[in-house]
Amino acid sequence: MITKVTYLIATILSVKAFPQNIQLLSQLPSDPIEQPDSWAWGRHPKEGFGYKARNSLTLEQCIDNPETAGTVHCDGYDYSYPVELCISMPRLAPLKVCADAKFPKDFCVSNAANMVKAKGCQKFLTDMCIMDISLATSQPCADAQYPKDFCTSNANQMVKTKGCQKFLTDMCTMDINLATSQPCADAEFPKDFCVANAVKLIKANGCQSYLTDLCTADVSLAVSSDCADAKLPKEFCVNGDLRMIKAKGCSKFLGDICSQSLELANSADCLPAQKSVSVFRCTRSRDICLSQLCELKVRDKGSCPQ
């Protein structure tokens, strides 16, 4: 047992001292960056001794050679370069070695694509992001606050961006197709815009407060299910258009609508109006007075107008 321990200690000491006349897996480099006795040595059962140098540079080497910054050889060190060097070598500017540098606005903006993530340029984030629409919609620009004219000029691309949400209505009203899209679902539209585009915006959340105005902008809308909850005014319902008999929003004026024509007065659609139609409406015309619409209100047909 003692013999084995003695042999093991002797082997370790001989390896650490880089023993001569051993079988190497490969040749030593002609100009090693570190002394071989500081390397990691090991012995393979069949293939002899092998060695491996550390896969890194010294701190001094990293500092003296800026081109090595950001590589695996220097990532483990904590060091930084002066702002002048970071500016003279834009590749370094976004890296850790330039994280503490405070860059001037013109440098940040001129190199926006590379500098948008740089800590030293964050105070100019919006100025950088508006340099390119694709940059403005990217993740690094998520916290940028954009001016109104930039948002509206690029409405289709910017409608989803956080930095333009305070101008959502302004962007959505730039294009009717955009106004009806999902990103504009929460936009509050002005009345004139809603009415001018009533057919397309009848279902838009941002126009529901003007539902009656939209429904009265087009008779085909007024009689549709989209206007079922609209409270339509009497003058709109009783306008001589026979289609209004189908409008749910005009049901309270059904008697007035039905008394506009003999065709309607005798139709099955007007039977529900027999109780609500006024005597005044029934006695304005002999034909209407004699119609089935007025059977309940004028039982003595002899009193009908001649």
pTM of the full structure: 0.65
The string over 157-170, giving b where at least 16 C-beta atoms fall within 10 Å of a residue's C-beta and e elsewhere, is: ebbebebbbebbbe
Domain boundary among 52, 74, 91: 52
Assigned domain for 241 exists: no
The string over 126-135, giving b where at least 16 C-beta atoms fall within 10 Å of a residue's C-beta and e elsewhere, is: bebbbeeeeb
Domain boundary among 19, 37, 52: 52
Assigned domain for 138 exists: no
Q: What is the pLDDT of residues 260-293, one digit of tens each?
A: 999 999 999 999 999 999 999 999 999 999 999 9
How many residues does this entry show for the chain? 306
Looking at residue 16, its pLDDT comes to 47
Looking at residue 176, its pLDDT comes to 96
Assigned domain for 158 exists: no
Phi then psi dihedrals of residue 101, to 5 deg? -75, 140
In percent, the amount of the chain with pLDDT more than 90 equals: 69
Domain count, the chain: 2
Assigned domain for 218 exists: no
Q: Is the dihedral of CA 194, 197, 199, 201 positive or negative?
A: negative
Task: Give the range of the structural domain holding residue 29, as residue numbers without chain letter.
Answer: 2-52
Assigned domain for 153 exists: no
Let me know if 254 is exposed, middle or buried by CB neighbors in 10 A (0-12, 13-18, 19+): buried
Looking at residue 4, its pLDDT comes to 42
Per-residue pLDDT, averaged over 48-59, amounts to 62
Q: What is the pLDDT of residues 165-213, one digit of tens each?
A: 999 999 999 999 999 999 999 999 999 999 999 999 999 999 999 999 9
> Looking at the predicted structure, is the pLDDT value of residue 37 above 70?
no
> Looking at the predicted structure, is the pLDDT value of residue 8 above 50?
no
Mean pLDDT of the chain: 86
Task: Give the separation between CA 167 and CA 57, rounded to whole angstroms.
Answer: 52
Q: Which of 27-31, 75-79, 83-87, 178-182 has the least mean pLDDT?
A: 27-31
Q: Residue 55: pLDDT band by 50, 70, 90 thresholds? A: low
Looking at residue 13, its pLDDT comes to 44
Assigned domain for 17 exists: yes
Q: Residue 2: pLDDT band by 50, 70, 90 thresholds? A: very low
Looking at residue 241, its pLDDT comes to 86
Q: Residue 127: pLDDT band by 50, 70, 90 thresholds? A: very high
Q: Where would I find the beta strands (DSSP E) of 200-284?
A: none
In percent, the amount of the chain with pLDDT more than 70 equals: 82
Assigned domain for 32 exists: yes
Q: Residue 40: pLDDT band by 50, 70, 90 thresholds? A: low
Looking at residue 58, its pLDDT comes to 87
Per-residue pLDDT, averaged over 105-114, amounts to 95
> Looking at the predicted structure, is the pLDDT value of residue 100 above 60?
yes
Per-residue pLDDT, averaged over 23-31, amounts to 63
> How is residue 71 annotated by DSSP?
S
Assigned domain for 46 exists: yes
Q: What is the pLDDT of residues 205-258, one digit of tens each?
A: 999 999 999 999 999 999 999 999 999 999 999 988 888 988 999 999 999 999
Domain boundary among 52, 74, 92: 52
